[in-house]
């Protein structure tokens, strides 16, 4: 159980905070993330028209995943939520993440429903801590289910205390 300090008068009074209360707060924070507009297909057309080589025309039209950016320095500039159509998505939403990568600041976009990454992004958004420099990391050990969880390691948040 987590605790919180209540009031600023006299000695700190510790109040228990229930897991349910934390999850309710998280749900409210997630709903505060802007809902992405429905894609009308123009993104696919734009990707095709921006191709620099003939092989760039051979896209699978799927959004890259957070896993595609493991170990890279990213600056997250914005997030949006989209309703998930996957049955195993507990949140019911996934996030579209936009920003720039590396010193050359190449634009990127990826989608993620990874619980750990979504929680960090929602917290960054809720506290006004975007843009934020981050790195996607993959666990060295697999879970019992054989998955290697992803996490978002915050490197810096300009302007945050």
Report yes or no on whether pTM surpasses 0.75: no
More confident residue, 89 or 110: 110
Indicate the domain borders of the chain. Answer: 62-156
Tell me the per-residue pLDDT of 61-74, one tens digit each, with 9 for 90 and over: 678 899 999 999 99
C-alpha distances in Å from residue 31, one per residue of 24, 34, 65, 120: 11, 7, 22, 14
Considering the four listed CATH numbers 1.10.10, 2.40.50, 3.40.50, 3.30.70, the one that applies to the domain covering 62-156 is: 2.40.50
Q: Establish how many alpha carbons lie within 13 A of residue 79's alpha carbon, considering only the half-sphere containing its beta carbon.
A: 30
Tell me the per-residue pLDDT of 7-32, one tens digit each, with 9 for 90 and over: 555 566 766 678 888 878 888 888 88
Tell me the per-residue pLDDT of 122-149, one tens digit each, with 9 for 90 and over: 999 999 999 999 999 999 999 998 989 9
């Amino acid at each position: 159980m987590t605790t919180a300090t209540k009031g600023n008068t006299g000695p700190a009074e510790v109040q228990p905070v229930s897991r349910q209360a934390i999850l309710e707060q998280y749900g409210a924070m997630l709903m505060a993330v802007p809902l992405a507009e429905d894609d009308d297909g123009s993104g696919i057309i734009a990707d095709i028209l921006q191709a620099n080589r003939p092989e760039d025309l051979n896209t699978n039209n799927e959004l890259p995943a957070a896993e595609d950016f493991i170990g890279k320095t990213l600056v997250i500039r914005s997030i949006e939520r989209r309703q998930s159509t996957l049955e195993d998505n507990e949140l019911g939403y996934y996030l579209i993440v936009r920003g720039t990568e590396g010193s050359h600041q190449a634009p990127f976009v990826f989608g993620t429903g990874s619980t750990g990454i979504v929680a960090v992004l929602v917290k960054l958004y809720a506290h006004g801590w975007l843009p934020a420099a981050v790195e996607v990391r993959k666990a060295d050990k697999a879970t019992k289910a054989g998955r290697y969880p992803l996490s978002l390691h915050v490197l810096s948040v300009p302007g945050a205390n």
